[in-house]
Every structure is written in C-alpha cells, then in structure tokens.
Structure 1
C-alpha cells in the first residue's frame, strides 16, 4: 500500500485532534471535579445522578420540615412550662389568701397579683411561632385567648367554660419523612381543660373568693389547681412523646443524608489524583503528537532533493 504525504498529514491532524479532545476532557474533569458534563458523556452515571439527587433533595426537605416542627414544639413546650409556673404561683397565692388573719387591703393586693397571673396565662396561651399562634388549632392567624368587657376569658370568641370542640380534631400535621406525618401542635382546650373545671374558671373562683373574703372557697380551689396542673402535665407529656419521635426521625434523616450524599459523590465526582495524572499524561501525549505532526507536515520536495 502506497503511503502519501497527504495521508500522513491527515493522520497526524486526526491524532492531534483526538489527543486535544482527550486533554480537554481531562482538564475539564480536574477543574469541575465531575466525571461528566452532559448526559451523553455517560448515560448510566447521568441516570444515577438524577436518582441520587432526587433522594438528597427529598431528605433535605424532610430535614427542613423536622427543623420547623422541632422549633414549633419547643416554643409550645416552653409556653406550657411557663403556664405550670404561673399555676404554681396561683397555688401559693391561694394558700396565702385562705388565711383568716388577712385584712381587706391584703386580699385586694392578692387579687391584683392573681389578676396579673391570669393575664400572664393568657399571654402564654397566645404564644406564637413564626407569626402563627400555637394553641389556636387551625386558626393560627388570630390570638385564641382574650378578655371581654366583663373580664371573662374567651377562647376563639367563646367563654372558655362554654367552649366545645364538638369532637373536631384540629391537629396540624407535617410530613417529616417517607410518608410519616406527625401532629405538631397542642390545642388550647387540651391545656386549660374544658367546662367548669378549666384553668380560667379556677382563676375566677379564686378572685371571687378574694372579693368576698371567703377563705373556705379560696382553700377549696387548691384541688382545682392540682387538677389544672395534671391537665397541663398530661398535654406536656403527650407533646414530649411526639418531640422524641421527631428527634428520632431527624437522626435517621441525618444518616440517610450522609449515605445519599456519599452515593452521589461516588457516582459523580472524579478521583482528583487519578484525574490529575490523566491530565498530565494527556498533556504529554498531545505535545508529542504536535511534535510529530510538525515534522510530518514540514516536509517538502526540497527535503527529498537535498
């Protein structure tokens, strides 16, 4: 087979282009630290990348949901702890007010303190997180507790003693992972109790007793206060169980995130040491092909006549 100069030149150009493409790919991998730049480079890697990135994105969203739920529940738990402290102070004032030796001015001073405690209880139950009231059920945009003109406490516009939820569950749920939804809120009536034995009814009984100087009536409120304590603690215990569950889910999501990120990295990221070595080799080969090409393409008729 006869080899001509044009054939040698074409072969040299083709080899130079191939080596230049190899060098470009190697340098791109080093600079981007990615195995592929477009799906056609490696369809298998590309399809896995889509799947792993979807997993990571889903876990990241679940982690955000867990963070939001955790913050909401911590705010709620803190508010109930404050409410327990308020009821403890009410108990101490009730014990103090049941003493027979107190004057009218002493009883009036105690009533003023009880009135302030009632307002503190209302404030605690009107706690909000991110602009949403945590004890209002679905009605998160309006403060659930308020006082009317007669100093009666209202819940969602109704007297607390008259309020009934009619069996309607207003649990706000959040999806925190793989179809696992958890109730994030505590409804106000679950904390204060309902009917005549609710927390604010106890406040009213204590204040009436102080107004009338009825130490027996004040003393009888101590049992009601204990009942209110039990109601708060039961609601707090239920919330605590859900908080523990959310914490466990959060730990599992952290592990899943690490696993999926590792899979994604193994699938997409290049080995830098290996890629650098390939880039160096490609550079040497490319320069060699240029050197050979120069010698082939520089030949002329004069070189053969010399």
Structure 2
C-alpha cells in the first residue's frame, strides 16, 4: 500500500484532534472534579447521579421538617414548664391566703397577685412560634385564649367550661421521614382541661375565696390546683415522648444524609490523583502529536528532491 503525504497529514490531524479531545476531557475533570460533564459522557453514572441526588434532596427536606418540628415543640415544652411554675405559685398564694390571721388588705394584695398569675397563664397559653399560636389547634393565626368583659376566660371565643370540640381532634402533623409523620402540637384543652374544674375555673374559685375571705373555700381549691398541675404534666410528658421520637428520627436522617452524600460523591467525583495523572499524560501525548504533526506537515517536494 502506497502511503502519500496527504494520508500522513490527515492521520496527523486526526491524531492531534483525538489527543486534544482527550486532554480537554482530562482538564475538565480536574477543574470540575466531576467524572462527567453531560449525561452522554457516561449514562450509567448519570442515572445513578439523578437517583442519589433525589435521595439527598429528600433527606434534606425531611431534616428541615425535623428542625421546624423540634423548634415548635421546644417552644411548647418551655411554655408548659412556665405554666407549671404559675400553678406552683398559685398554690403557694392559696396556702398563704388560707391563714386566719390575714387582714382584708393582705387578702386584696394576694388577690392582685393571683390576678396577675391568671393573666400570665393566658399569655403563656397564647405562646406562638413563627407567628403561629401553638395551643390553638388548626386556628394558628388567632390567639386561642382571651378574657371577656366579665373577666371570664374564653377559649376560641367560648367559655372553657362550655367548650365542646365535638370530638374533633386538631392535631397538626408533619412528615419527618419515609412515610413517617408526627403530631407537632399540643391542644389547649389538653392542657387546661375542659368543663368544670378546668384550670381557669380553679383561678375563678381562688379569686372568689379571696373576695369572700372564706378560708375553707380557698383550702378546697388546693386539690383542684394539684389536678390541674397533673394535667399540665401529663400533656408535657406526652410531648416529651414525641420530642424524643423526633430526635431519634433526626439522628437517623443525619446518618442517611452522610451515607447518600458518600454514595453521590463516589459516583460523581473523580479521583484527583488519577485525574491529575491522566491530565499530565494527555498533555504529554498531545504535545508529542503536535511535534510529529509539525514534522509531517512541513515536508514538501523540495525535501525529497534535495
């Protein structure tokens, strides 16, 4: 087979272009630290990348949900602790007011303190997180507790003793995992109790006892205070169990996130040592092909006639 100059030139140009493409790909991998720049470079790696990125994105969203739920529940737990403190202070005032040695002015001073405690309880039960009231059930945009002109405490516009939710549970749920949801909130009626003997009914009885100066009436409210405190603690214990569960799910998501990120990295990221070596080799080969090409393409008829 006869080899012509034109054939040698064409082959040199083809090899130069091939080596230049190899060098360009190697340099792109080094600069981007990624095995592929487009799906066609390696369809298998590309399909895995889509799947792993989807896993990571899903876990990141669950982690955001867990953070939001945790913050909501921490605010709620703090409010319940404050409410327990209020009831403890109320108990101490009732014990103090049950003494036969107190004057009318002393009882009036204690009544003022009890009134302030009642307002503190209302404010605590109107605690909000991110502009949403945590004890209002689904009605998160309005203060659940208020006081009417007769100093009666209302829950969602109704007297607490008359409030009836018709069995309608208003549990706000959040998706925090793969098919896993958790109740975020604590409903106000589960904290104060409903009907006769609710928390604010107890406050009203204490205030009536201080007004009348009836020591026995005041003493009778101590059992109600204990019962109300137990209701608060029970709600807090239930919340605490859910908080522990959310924390456990959060740790599992952290582990999943680390695993999927490693899988994604192993699938997409280049080995920098190998990539650098390939880039150096490709550069050497390209320079060699250029050198050979120059020699081939510089030949003319005069070179052969000399």
Q: Give per-residue Cα distances to partners, 1:203-222, cap 9 Å, x unaligned.
A: 00000000000111001100
> Hey, what does 2:14 align to over in structure 1?
14
> Hey, what does 1:276 align to over in structure 2?
276
Q: For this pair of structures, how many residues does the alignment match?
A: 306
> Hey, what does 1:236 align to over in structure 2?
236
> Hey, what does 1:163 align to over in structure 2?
163
Q: Give per-residue Cα distances to partners, 1:155-209, cap 9 Å, x unaligned.
A: 0000111112111110000000001010000000000011111000010000000
SS in 1 for 2:182: strand
> Hey, what does 2:83 align to over in structure 1?
83
SS in 2 for 1:261: helix
SS in 2 for 1:89: helix
Structure 1 runs (4+) greater than 2 angstroms displaced? none
> Hey, what does 2:93 align to over in structure 1?
93
**1:1-306 to 2 correspondence within 5 Å?**
1-306=1-306
CA distance in 2, matches of 1:182, 1:165: 21
Gaps of 5+ in 2: none
Q: CA RMSD in A?
A: 0.4
> Offset at 1:305?
1.3
CA distance in 2, matches of 1:195, 1:221: 16
SS in 2 for 1:252: helix
CA distance in 1, matches of 2:100, 2:49: 79
CA distance in 2, matches of 1:26, 1:215: 91
CA distance in 2, matches of 1:194, 1:88: 20
CA distance in 1, matches of 2:220, 2:40: 81
CA distance in 2, matches of 1:53, 1:142: 40
